[in-house]
């Protein structure tokens, strides 16, 4: 039972990581690519770690928590890193393909650097 569950989780995680990689290759601007790289890849890696926790817990016949701790660290660090990348791109004036729908930073009068093409 645990082998079937862990195999299904591994396949689902691999599919999500593949979807993120395809999104990075296909999307046009930096902000879309960063989003495509972070969201599905984070969830995909978390599902693969969950599969390893299921399989190792079944093999050791006790709860194996190290992959769960790694999932918590992953969900705490990846969104912060992604947000910092997007903020740095915004400050250095990386232009999206379309206009911003809403620009919250404009109210704070963020100083932009030279335009980057």
**Residue 101: what pLDDT?**
75
Write out pLDDT tens, residues 58-103: 988 888 899 999 999 999 999 999 999 988 888 887 878 777 777 7
pLDDT at 19: 94
**12: in domain:** yes
- Number of compact structural domains in the chain: 1
**Residue 117 placed within a domain:** no
pLDDT of residue 111: 67
| pLDDT of residue 26 exceeding 60 | yes
Q: Quick check: is 115 in a domain?
A: no
Is residue 112 in some structural domain? no
The two structure tokens encoding residue 25: 């290759």
Q: Give a yes or no: residue 113 inside a domain.
A: no
Q: Is residue 24 part of a domain?
A: yes
**Domain of residue 79, residue span:** 2-106
Report whether 114 contacts 93 (CB < 8 A): yes
User: Is there a domain that residue 30 lies in?
Assistant: yes
Distance CA 80, CA 93 (A): 20
Q: CB-based contacts of 17: which residues, under 8 Å, 6+ apart?
A: 40, 41, 44, 45, 48
Rounded distance, CA 96 to CA 90, Å?
Answer: 9
Position 6 in a domain? yes
């Amino acid at each position: 039972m645990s082998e079937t569950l862990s195999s299904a989780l591994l396949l689902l995680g691999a599919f999500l990581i593949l979807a993120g990689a395809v999104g990075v290759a296909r999307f046009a601007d930096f902000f879309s690519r960063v989003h495509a790289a972070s969201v599905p890849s984070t969830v995909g890696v978390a599902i693969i770690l969950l599969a390893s926790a299921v399989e190792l817990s079944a093999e050791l016949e006790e709860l194996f928590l190290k992959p769960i701790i790694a999932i918590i660290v992953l969900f705490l660090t990846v969104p912060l890193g992604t947000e910092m990348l997007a903020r740095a791109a915004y400050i250095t004036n990386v232009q999206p393909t379309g206009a911003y729908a809403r620009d919250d930073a404009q109210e704070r009068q963020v100083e932009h650097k030279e335009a980057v093409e």
